[in-house]
Chains A and B, each alone.
Chain A
């Protein structure tokens, strides 16, 4: 028998599970300097969602005053420097998140506002999430329509929460009711997807030049081939020549761009930082780069997972997050839970600060972005999905102070999603279980 077992043996490694992952960009496509794909007159909108699990200590989260406020809450205090861009929404509800496995559905309903089909098998069914709806429109001009990131290096399959398939707990972003988009948590892998090998500006320019020369030659080669062929086949070669010309155009654009600069040296991160905070900051750095280079305009980031048991001794919280969130109204636990919330918001503030520091068209990157930070769970002790902790940061600052919208009657989270879509130019009548838009935000 000729078979060598090794050769026929299934490869024992696989590069990630489930849905097809976006292929890495041609790194020569990354401009040596930052991209200005939009004209100064009409900068493009960016949209993003950052998820924190297991709700919050809502008393520490909710600002005291309502309407235009000059002081944020303790948990949101790190956002004070950007107060003019902050909108806090109180008493939003996500009805479709209620379920027997509501850690899973808190996550899955956060961006979909859809009811997850109760199944452990491959026949899961949810809905298209708001970021993907946006990506279909505002993401069609960028190399990556959207980017899905996380910080947890694990994959689970099977039953994850009382009969719900793990896809619900794992994936925030779904491009269709049956297509979850897995996140990437490895900084190196994210970098490679965005920038390939990276390197200094000179190195990147050299690669662009090489590719240009090669394509030049490919054009000549194809033309020679074309002469040898019959008439119908010549048309096919014309199609190929069109493709070559298009890529040459892209290379040309990439090498021509001037701007306020991506880092001169795009250093590829190699490992995963040991501390969670460093890891999160690195992931945020990559998001900033991706936006700066206009590689994508839609981002979702799962900063921590539902049922996370991460501990935060660095801020004086040695308790695992999940048990801590079952605070049973114990003041000590509530206090520590609020610390965790504030710590998460602090990482988000790090990101916002970077966005604010980057010029973009006639303003800053923050002026032209909208980022929602929040949780799919309200009071984690009872696993409800009402009075969710939600804050939106971004947009041009027109008036002083933050806006705190506090609703007497609960408002559907989907209303906020519908509003955000509107603000980035995607005008729909409804989204999931929405029953209107948030007028106060539309006029911002």
Chain B
């Protein structure tokens, strides 16, 4: 085990190093006596990092530091450790800051120069399948159909923290899914009559509290849901509602009559009265079964996307009168029963009477022309299919591309009409590998140069999938087809345009969600006994807070460092009550600044104080300094710890005396096999111990003792609490900025970052410095970088 060996080697060398250190006093700060990088390494590193040591560390004496370019894979690692001040370890002799900076600067300059001489932009895989998110967005932008595709195609595996890293497999089962999805999507988009009435059932989460107003539904209502559903055609549809029931199958919260409203696009369709079942005298029979039976209606609804609202009229805003402070959560019969009835599911089925295809956004998008007479049909079909194919394949299409889809169209047109023909052609396009895969090809004549600039079309796709997680739009595609995209001024303008477009929300909902582990939130179920006041509303609020926050940094042209330090957040009433922040009322999210009366809450500012991150880095029943430390090392500092050794026993449960988290983890420090890595992770996590497993602030532990939030970073800094942690991280802003750039670049390229990308990343961070470290500057820098615009051939 390296750590153990390191200790042993260290102890053995202690005398030697001590002697050397004593012999070399702090050198004079003059040009003639500034020690060379080799001398520094010899003095501070070679003690452990030697070839003849069995500690398994990088043997720095095997590499010539006067020529770093010969082994960038080694020296880039050294740079990383030195920049973060992780090496030499804090308990060993370390040089002063000036020396650190000098060595780093020397190494970076040399490696940047070597990279210029022999560029290596890395190699993105030739084939990359669209991820589930990208598929959804591509369908949305191609056909103007917003469909939940998670029930049609499976989600993707993640690697390096993102789900778009070289997923290139295509199993027969997956292909069947795409065939099935193409059938469904093409039918829905073209608006042909479905064969039989179909529908969807939307089930609300079981732990969704429904006692208060829900965003998107009218004021004066509470609970229920606003459901976005695309009605396939004009027709008569049935909407059926079922109420939530407890484990005994009784309708929950039904002690008096309530009014339930079903609306479509904010127009009321019908009101229902939901009343407690009658109790016939003399029996204990309660016909709960019948309560739901009448909760359905039929209505004529036009094709296209609509908002179906199912909600209850609010009865009273009066607070509950109880002796103890009531919970916010109400969903479990035993812990916090529902006070009022709630909606379990909404089924929308139909059409029962087909009323025509109607006018829908998707039909407008697809039918760029309409044949006036039968002779026009083929010409019009060609135009429609050509446009769709061009957008779907992200490139100009040839007659050969269109041959078979048009043949399919013709065959189907003869049997079932023009629209049916278009539908089957579209269905074929949606299964084409050129739609489902992003393809980057080495150019034909490569013998001269193994590194080449990718084509404009490939650049357009990279750009749109980076900023929008979707296909290029016509403007971007046309510029690429005309070969104008590579012009730096035009490219820059496009980046700005695309960031200003609403589709750039993908950077928040796809990039940030993954970077900040927000996708773990649905799986977080805190122990109901220890944290009873936790519901789906809170889970959603956590996510919304962080998403809105990230979005503001992105779209308000703020410094990326504001992600850690901006003095505001976004709250709604549920979340504010959770945090204990007063005077925030209502279900809508609004920006709340931590000043004036709320100054005392400003220790929460930035990502590190947000409930989402604090909760996904905890276990169901307790905080985990280790998880939090690891998360910050990996996602904030970009210095992930090594994997744990196998067969680590679980932390012993608290038995007898309740130990604090710090006490329970003494084993991490006591055991030398553990301390090597845990001394990096645990102190970070300890500094966040004031936040419990669901992100609430606590001043005391379970046993009443005051929380000890003293901690540190691997660079040797020591501090207390989140304020200290934040300052320490912000003290080395380039570490955070480099990490963020690496994460963005991983996501942008769809491959892991390698040492060969480091020079480009350094440049991006440097250039962004001139723009006040704006997040948008990092993004622009990535687009301009050579890993993004070039590719190494195989």
Indicate if the CB atoms of A158 and B508 lie closer than 8 Å.
Answer: no
Indicate if the CB atoms of A121 and B526 lie closer than 8 Å.
Answer: yes
Partner of B285, one of A16, A228, A307, A318: A318
B424 interface contact, C-beta 8 A: yes
| Chain A hits for B227, CB < 8 A | 12-13
In the complex, number of A-B residue pairs with CB atoms less than 8 Å apart: 285
Indicate if the CB atoms of B201 and A189 lie closer than 8 Å.
Answer: yes
CB of B409, distance to nearest CB on chain A (Å)? 11
B102 interface contact, C-beta 8 A: no
Partner of B248, one of A6, A203, A225, A307: A307
| Chain A hits for B434, CB < 8 A | 221, 225
Indicate if the CB atoms of B215 and A9 lie closer than 8 Å.
Answer: yes
Most buried by A among B428, B442, B548: B428
**CA–CA, A53 and B148, complex, Å:** 36
Complex: chain B residue closest to A308, CB-CB: B249
Indicate if the CB atoms of B288 and A309 lie closer than 8 Å.
Answer: yes
Indicate if the CB atoms of A217 and B551 lie closer than 8 Å.
Answer: no
CB of B33, distance to nearest CB on chain A (Å)? 54
**Nearest 3 pairs of A and B residues by beta carbon:** A122-B525, A158-B332, A121-B527
CB of B597, distance to nearest CB on chain A (Å)? 24
CB of A295, distance to nearest CB on chain B (Å)? 13
Indicate if the CB atoms of A10 and B540 lie closer than 8 Å.
Answer: yes
Q: 10 pairs across A/B with beta carbons < 8 Å?
A: A8-B551, A10-B544, A156-B245, A214-B182, A217-B404, A217-B428, A229-B441, A243-B171, A244-B175, A271-B238
Indicate if the CB atoms of A188 and B349 lie closer than 8 Å.
Answer: yes
Complex: chain A residue closest to B503, CB-CB: A7
User: Interface code A317-331, partner B: CB below 8 Å = 1, 0 otherwise?
Assistant: 011101100000000
Most buried by A among B169, B247, B433, B589: B247
Within 8 A of A (CB), among B125-169: 126-127, 148, 150-154, 168-169
Indicate if the CB atoms of A26 and B177 lie closer than 8 Å.
Answer: yes
Complex: chain B residue closest to A268, CB-CB: B196
Within 8 A of A (CB), among B398-428: 400, 404-405, 408, 412, 424, 427-428
Indicate if the CB atoms of A153 and B344 lie closer than 8 Å.
Answer: yes
Indicate if the CB atoms of B525 and A186 lie closer than 8 Å.
Answer: no
**CA–CA, A236 and B433, complex, Å:** 12
Indicate if the CB atoms of A310 and B289 lie closer than 8 Å.
Answer: yes
**CA–CA, A313 and B290, complex, Å:** 12
Indicate if the CB atoms of A225 and B172 lie closer than 8 Å.
Answer: no
A29 interface contact, C-beta 8 A: yes
Stretch from A82-90, A159-167, A399-407 forming part of the interface with B: A159-167
Indicate if the CB atoms of A7 and B432 lie closer than 8 Å.
Answer: no
| Chain B hits for A225, CB < 8 A | 433-434, 439
Indicate if the CB atoms of A250 and B172 lie closer than 8 Å.
Answer: yes
Indicate if the CB atoms of A23 and B431 lie closer than 8 Å.
Answer: no
| Chain A hits for B248, CB < 8 A | 307-309, 322
CB of B616, distance to nearest CB on chain A (Å)? 13
B287 interface contact, C-beta 8 A: yes
With contact pairs A154-B244, A220-B404 given, residues A2 and B433 touching in the complex (Cβ less than 8 Å) = no
CB of B751, distance to nearest CB on chain A (Å)? 15
Q: A122-B527, A213-B408, A270-B199 are in contact. List 13 more A-B contacts (CB 8 A).
A: A1-B551, A8-B551, A119-B527, A154-B246, A197-B194, A197-B196, A210-B427, A236-B126, A247-B175, A268-B196, A305-B249, A309-B249, A322-B248
| Chain B hits for A311, CB < 8 A | 285-287, 289
| Chain B hits for A318, CB < 8 A | 283, 285
Indicate if the CB atoms of B620 and A23 lie closer than 8 Å.
Answer: no
B555 interface contact, C-beta 8 A: yes
**CA–CA, A313 and B286, complex, Å:** 11
CB of A371, distance to nearest CB on chain B (Å)? 25
A408 interface contact, C-beta 8 A: no
Within 8 A of A (CB), among B333-369: 333-335, 344-347, 349
**CA–CA, A294 and B793, complex, Å:** 48
Within 8 A of B (CB), among A285-344: 305, 307-311, 313, 318-320, 322-323
User: Interface code A189-212, partner B: CB below 8 Å = 1, 0 otherwise?
Assistant: 100100011110001000100110
Complex: chain B residue closest to A120, CB-CB: B528
User: Interface code A116-135, partner B: CB below 8 Å = 1, 0 otherwise?
Assistant: 00011111000000000000
With contact pairs A3-B551, A3-B555, A222-B433 given, residues A8 and B508 touching in the complex (Cβ less than 8 Å) = yes
Complex: chain B residue closest to A28, CB-CB: B179
**CA–CA, A196 and B198, complex, Å:** 10
CB of B127, distance to nearest CB on chain A (Å)? 6
CB of A406, distance to nearest CB on chain B (Å)? 34
Indicate if the CB atoms of B203 and A199 lie closer than 8 Å.
Answer: no
| Chain A hits for B349, CB < 8 A | 188, 270-271
Indicate if the CB atoms of A12 and B794 lie closer than 8 Å.
Answer: no
| Chain B hits for A218, CB < 8 A | 428, 431-433
A169 interface contact, C-beta 8 A: yes
Complex: chain B residue closest to A12, CB-CB: B225
**Range, interface on chain A:** 35 or more
B231 interface contact, C-beta 8 A: no
| Chain B hits for A214, CB < 8 A | 179, 182, 408, 427-428, 431
**CA–CA, A180 and B153, complex, Å:** 22
**CA–CA, A243 and B433, complex, Å:** 12
With contact pairs A159-B335, A169-B247, A320-B284 given, residues A267 and B408 touching in the complex (Cβ less than 8 Å) = no
| Chain B hits for A197, CB < 8 A | 194-196, 198
Indicate if the CB atoms of A221 and B620 lie closer than 8 Å.
Answer: no
B783 interface contact, C-beta 8 A: no
Indicate if the CB atoms of B214 and A12 lie closer than 8 Å.
Answer: yes
B240 interface contact, C-beta 8 A: yes
Indicate if the CB atoms of A271 and B433 lie closer than 8 Å.
Answer: no
A24 interface contact, C-beta 8 A: yes
| Chain B hits for A244, CB < 8 A | 175
| Chain B hits for A272, CB < 8 A | 240, 347
Indicate if the CB atoms of A155 and B344 lie closer than 8 Å.
Answer: yes
Indicate if the CB atoms of B620 and A122 lie closer than 8 Å.
Answer: yes
| Chain A hits for B400, CB < 8 A | 224
B216 interface contact, C-beta 8 A: yes
Indicate if the CB atoms of B289 and A211 lie closer than 8 Å.
Answer: no
B679 interface contact, C-beta 8 A: no
CB of B125, distance to nearest CB on chain A (Å)? 9
Indicate if the CB atoms of B284 and A319 lie closer than 8 Å.
Answer: yes
A398 interface contact, C-beta 8 A: no
**CA–CA, A311 and B45, complex, Å:** 79
| Chain B hits for A14, CB < 8 A | 202-205
With contact pairs A156-B206, A210-B427, A270-B349 given, residues A120 and B225 touching in the complex (Cβ less than 8 Å) = no
B449 interface contact, C-beta 8 A: no
Partner of A152, one of B226, B249, B412, B620: B249
B377 interface contact, C-beta 8 A: no
**CA–CA, A9 and B588, complex, Å:** 10
**CA–CA, A243 and B335, complex, Å:** 51
Indicate if the CB atoms of B508 and A16 lie closer than 8 Å.
Answer: no
| Chain B hits for A323, CB < 8 A | 284
Within 8 A of B (CB), among A1-44: 1-17, 21, 23-29
**CA–CA, A311 and B289, complex, Å:** 8
B228 interface contact, C-beta 8 A: yes
Indicate if the CB atoms of A221 and B621 lie closer than 8 Å.
Answer: no
CB of B415, distance to nearest CB on chain A (Å)? 9
Indicate if the CB atoms of B502 and A7 lie closer than 8 Å.
Answer: yes
**CA–CA, A8 and B214, complex, Å:** 15
B197 interface contact, C-beta 8 A: yes
CB of B363, distance to nearest CB on chain A (Å)? 21
Partner of B126, one of A10, A11, A233, A268: A233
**CA–CA, A185 and B757, complex, Å:** 53
